[in-house]
Structure 1
Amino acid sequence: MGKVLVCNSVIAKTPYYIKEAGIKIFTIEELSYFISQNAYLLDESFMNVELCNFIKNELGMEELGNTLRELIRKQGKVAEFAAEIVYSNNFFNEEEKRKIRDILLKISSKNVFFRRKAKADEMFNRNQYINSIIEYNKLLEGEKDRTVSNEEYGNAYHNLASAYARLFLFGQAARYYKIGYSYNKSQETFKEYLFSLRFYKDDIFGEDGVFFDKKITPKDAAELEVYLENMMDEEGAKENIKKVKELMDSRDEGDFGKYYTELRKMLEQRKKEYTPF
C-alpha cells in the first residue's frame, strides 16, 4: 500500500470492472497492483475470457491475452494466471515480482475452504455485507468438508452471522451464531448469539430461545438471565437495544431521515467493536 502508480502503458477506453472489489481497471499496472494487494480475493472466477479480451483488445497486449486464454483452456492455476500478468510489465521490480509470485503460490496451496473463506472475509472487511453473505453461503452449503476442523467451520458461521448482524437482521444472525457455537465452542460466538437474540426478541427463553437444541430448566434460565444481564451491563448493551428499538420505530413511522442517520452511527460504532475470525 502507498505505492505511487506510474503507468507507462496503454490506458483502456473501456475499463475492466472487478465486481468483488468494486473497482475499475484501466491499465496493466493497475491490474498488477490489484493482484499484489488482493491475492486472497483471487479464485477461479478471476480466470475468465472477459479479462483476456480486455487485456488483448483494450490494452493492446495480444500475446499476453492469448497466453492467458491458453491457461484457461488447459485449466491452469490461478497463481500462474495472475503471475503472468504481474510479470508482463515493469510496475514491480524483479524482487517484488518474485515475492508476489511466492505469495500467490502459497495461497494456491491452501485448501479450497481456506481460500474461499479468506475471500468472503475480505468482502466483509470491505463492508460488502451482502456479497460476503453470498460467499459464506457458498462456502457452507452441502455436507461439511471433513478436512476442515470444527473450529474453522464454526468461525465461518460466526462471520456469516456477523454479516447479517451488520445489516440489522438479528434473527438470521442469532441462527448462524447458534450453529457456529455448536462447532467452535467459542465464548465470543456464544456472547454474540445472546446479543443478537436479545436484539431480535425480548424473551430469549421462548420457542426461539432454546439454546443449542436442549430444553432449559427454570434454574438454567435464571442463571443464563443473570449472566446475560451482567454481560450487557458490562458492554453497555441495554442502551444499544433501546436505540435499536427506537430506530425500528422511526422506520415504521416513516421517519427515514432519522432512521438512516442513526443507523450509520451505530454501524460505525459496531465496526470498531468487531473483528471477524
Structure 2
Amino acid sequence: MSLILCRQEPVKHPYYFEGLGVRLFSSQELCYAIYNNPLLVMEDFVDSSLIEFIREDLDMAFLAQKLVKLQQSGEDGDEILAVILHECDYYHAAEVNRFKQKLAAYRRMPEAEFLKERADFLFSRKQYGKAVSEYQKILDLPKGSHVNDGFRAKIYNNLGASYARLFMTEKACKAYEKSFDLVKNNEVLKKIYHLSQWNSGLAVHERFQALITEEMKQEAEQERLRAEELAGEADSLLELEKLFQKDPIKRFQGAGELVQKWKQEYRNIMS
C-alpha cells in the first residue's frame, strides 16, 4: 500500500482541459493529465491561459515565469512540458525521462501515422467529433505521405465507426463503402449491413447490397444480440437501477447529478 501526498492548493478557478473534457484542481492533476495523455498535449497545450492558472490558482509564480521565459526564448514545446512535470514534483526524474522519450518517438513518426495514433486515442476516449477531424486530416494529406491503400482503408473504417457513434449513419456508410473499395473486407460489409438495419431509410448502394450474403446477415444478427446483452449489463444502466431504489429525495438529487454527467459526456462525444 502506498500514499501520495498532494499539495492543498486554493484553486478557485479550475483549469478546463478540453482534450479530456475535465477540470483540473491541482498541480498533481495537471501533471497526471499531461503524463498520461501525451498525444493531447503535444500541440500548443502550454498557452497563456494555462500559465495564468499555474500562476494565480496554483500559486506557482516562479514556474509560470519560467514557462514564459522558455517560450520567449523559443524552447522546444516538449521540454516545456517536462519542466512542468519536474517542477511540480509529482513524477521522479526517470518517469519524466520516459515521458520525453515517448514524445520523441511520436515526433519521429510519419505525419499520417502520428495523426492516426492521435485519432485512435481520441476515439478510445469517446471524443468522436475530434477523432473525425483527425481522420479527415489524414485523408487530406498529399499523395506519397506514407499512405497506401491498406492504410487509407483503415482510416475510412475508423472514420465510419466515428460517424456511426455520432449517429451520422449516411456519412458512416459512405466511409465504410470507401474502405471496402480499397480493401475487400467482409467485416466492413457487415458494418454496412448493421447500419442499414439501424437506419431503415439508409440508401445503401445496390452493388454493396448484392455482396452482403445471408451468412453475413446471420453473423451480424448474432453480433447484434450479443451487443444487446452487453448493453443490458452496462455500468450506466446498473447505476440508473440503483438510483431508482433510493428514497424520493436522494433519487431526485441523484437524477440531477446523473443528467449533468450525461450532458458532459454528450458534449465530449460531439465536440
Indicate conservation of the 8 Å contact 1:174/1:194, yes or no: no
The CA distance in 1 between the partners of 2:86 and 2:126, in whole Å, is 31
SS at match of 1:10: coil
- Verify the 8 A CA contact 1:42 1:119 in the aligned structure 2: no
TM-score (norm 1): 0.68
1:146 matched to which residue of 2?
145
Going from structure 1 to structure 2, the CA distance change for 1:125 and 1:238 (only over 3 Å counts) comes to: closer
In the alignment, what sits opposite 1:51?
50
1:142–1:230 CA distance, 2 compared to 1 (3 A): same
Aligned to 2:206: 209
Structure 2 gaps, min length 5 = 229-271
Once residues 135 and 175 of structure 1 are traced to their aligned partners in structure 2, the CA distance between those partners, rounded to angstroms, is 17
Residue in 2 aligned with 1:133?
Answer: 132
Name the Cα RMSD after superposition: 3.2
Cα offset for 1:50?
1.5
Query: Partner letter of residue 110 of structure 1?
Result: M
Q: Which amino acid is the alignment partner of residue 160 of structure 2?
A: A
Q: Deviations over 1:222-275 (max 9, x none)?
A: xx24x2x211212326977xx9xxxxxxxxxxxxxxxxxxxxxxxxxxxxxxxx
How many equivalent pairs are there?
A: 226
Structure-2 separation of matches of 1:133 and 1:59:
34
1:202–1:51 CA distance, 2 compared to 1 (3 A):
closer
Q: Distance in 2 between matches of 1:77 and 1:181?
A: 41
Task: Name which of structure 1's ranges 150-159 and 12-21 shifts more when overlaid on structure 2.
Answer: 150-159
Residues 142 and 103 of structure 1: CA distance in aligned 2, closer, same or farther (over 3 Å): closer
Moved more, 45-54 or 133-142: 133-142
Greater shift in the superposed pair: 87-96 or 184-193: 184-193
2:152 maps to amino acid = Y
* Equivalent-residue separation in structure 2 for 1:103 and 1:24 (angstroms): 25
* One-letter amino acid of the structure 2 residue matched with residue 192 of structure 1: K
For 2:89 and 2:139, the matched residues in 1 are separated by 40
Q: Taking structure 1 as reference, are residues 174 and 77 closer, same or farther at Cα in structure 2, changes over 3 Å only?
A: farther
Give the equivalent residue in structure 1 for 2:177: 178
Q: Which of 234, 238, 249 matches 2:219? A: 234
Distance in structure 2 (CA, Å) of the matches to 1:237 and 1:79:
47
Question: Match for 1:96: what amino acid?
Answer: E
Q: Which amino acid aligns with 2:68?
A: R
Q: Does 1:110 align with 2:95?
A: no
Q: Taking structure 1 as reference, are residues 144 and 46 closer, same or farther at Cα in structure 2, changes over 3 Å only?
A: farther
**Equivalence for 1:88:** 87
Contact 2:193 2:217 in 1 (8 A): no
Please give the alpha-carbon distance, in whole angstroms, between the structure 2 residues aligned to 1:17 and 1:81: 19
The AA in structure 1 aligned to 2:56 is: N
In structure 1, what residue type is equivalent to 2:87? S
Contact 1:203-1:209 within 8 A present in 2 as well: no
Partners of 1:29 and 1:89 within 8 A in 2: yes
* Distance in 2 between residues matched to 1:186 and 1:78, nearest whole Å: 41
Q: Which residue of 1 aligns with 2:161?
A: 162
One-letter code of the match for 2:13? T
What amino acid is aligned across from residue 164 of structure 2 in structure 1? A
- In structure 1, how many angstroms separate the alpha carbons of the residues matched to 2:67 and 2:191? 45
Runs (4+) of structure 1 exceeding 6 A deviation are 202-205
Seq. identity, %: 27
Give, as a single letter, the amino acid of the residue that structure 1 aligns with 2:179. Answer: G
- State TM-score, norm by structure 2: 0.69
Deviation (angstroms), 1:156: 1.9
Higher mean C-alpha deviation, range 9-18 or range 192-201: 192-201
2:132 is matched by which residue type in structure 1?
I
| 1-structure distance, mates of 2:103, 2:9 | 26
How far the C-alpha of 1:47 sits from its partner, in A, is: 3.1
Partner SS, residue 44 of structure 2: helix
